[in-house]
Amino acid sequence: MNLFGISINHRTSPIELREAVYLNVDEQKSFISALKKDILKEGFVISIEPIDSTTFSAVVQGNQIYVVSVSIDQGGYILCDCSCPCDFNCKHAAAALLKWLSIKNKIDKEQLKAMNEKKETIEKILARKTKTELINLLKLVLKQYPELTSYVRINTTELILRIRNLFSQFWEEYNVKELTSQLEIILEGIRNNKDQWDIRLFQEMNTCSQVMIENQEQVFYEFELSNFLEEWFHTLGEVFSEIESTRSKKEAFIDRLRRN
């Protein structure tokens, strides 16, 4: 039975339930009276226990002791019975329902907390793996996603080719993020392999820069590309600083970037 058309679920708090009821004050006078403070006093509900996943029973103290049964279906509709003269939709059922919601919310929070404490982070799982297991796992990932190989090593012979291929087509608004995602994988691979920063890499990156700048019209939404290029040139400057130590060369490089 729908309790005056009020639909609730397991996330509904006692306060929310009371507010929902009070919104129907003109039509639901009998139910509102059941929600007065006296029925919510500690000890009004003597005991409460679940019957199954949707039903619970309670023993409630009123003028005498009454037995209440409440069921909440998947749609959030409430069916309640009480041994009091009112029989259903009484203040004893309301008190039991509010008490149950309060208890259930507390149980849900405790269960969630326990689950989070048991849940292992990926870092902890990987930390237990042996070197051989980690290598085999990495091989499987790279086999399935070969584009991620750049995270492990920089292949300078493919760098320009990959950039040229990416900019050989027109990127519509709906797939620009796919372009920037692939570009970011390349850039992140460069950042993660500083031991491979040398003059050859710098020259390759420099050529790639020209390719991207000259083909910006291939990208419908250039703002996304502009954000990436800012990161790209920042990394290019870091690579240059790593391989060139003279101040004059650094100044010349910065001046050339400004002109671009």
Residue 230 resides in a domain: yes
State the pTM of this model.
Answer: 0.45
203 and 126 within one domain: no
255 and 244 within one domain: yes
pLDDT of residue 152: 74
Confidence band of 246 (pLDDT split at 50, 70, 90): low
224 and 178 within one domain: yes
Residue 58 resides in a domain: yes
> Which amino acid is it at 53?
S
200 and 142 within one domain: no
Q: Which residue has the higher pLDDT, 189 or 111?
A: 189
The domain in which residue 132 lies consists of 120-146
135 and 63 within one domain: no
In angstroms, rounded to a whole number, what is the distance separating the alpha carbons of residues 148 and 140?
11
Residue 25 clears pLDDT 60, i.e. is over it: no
Region for residue 87 given its phi and psi (left: phi exceeds 0; alpha: psi -120 to 50; beta: otherwise): left
Average pLDDT for 86-110: 75
137 and 47 within one domain: no
Structural domains in the chain (count): 3
Residue 260 clears pLDDT 80, i.e. is over it: no
pLDDT of residue 78: 79
Q: Which residue has the higher pLDDT, 160 or 111?
A: 160
Residue 164 resides in a domain: yes
Average pLDDT for 185-197: 88
223 and 184 within one domain: yes
254 and 184 within one domain: yes
In angstroms, rounded to a whole number, what is the distance separating the alpha carbons of residues 164 and 207?
10
Confidence band of 165 (pLDDT split at 50, 70, 90): very high
Residue 42 clears pLDDT 60, i.e. is over it: no
Q: Helix, strand, or coil here: 27? A: coil
126 and 105 within one domain: no
254 and 157 within one domain: yes
pLDDT of residue 39: 53
Where is the domain boundary, 128, 146, 164?
Answer: 146
133 and 71 within one domain: no
159 and 136 within one domain: no
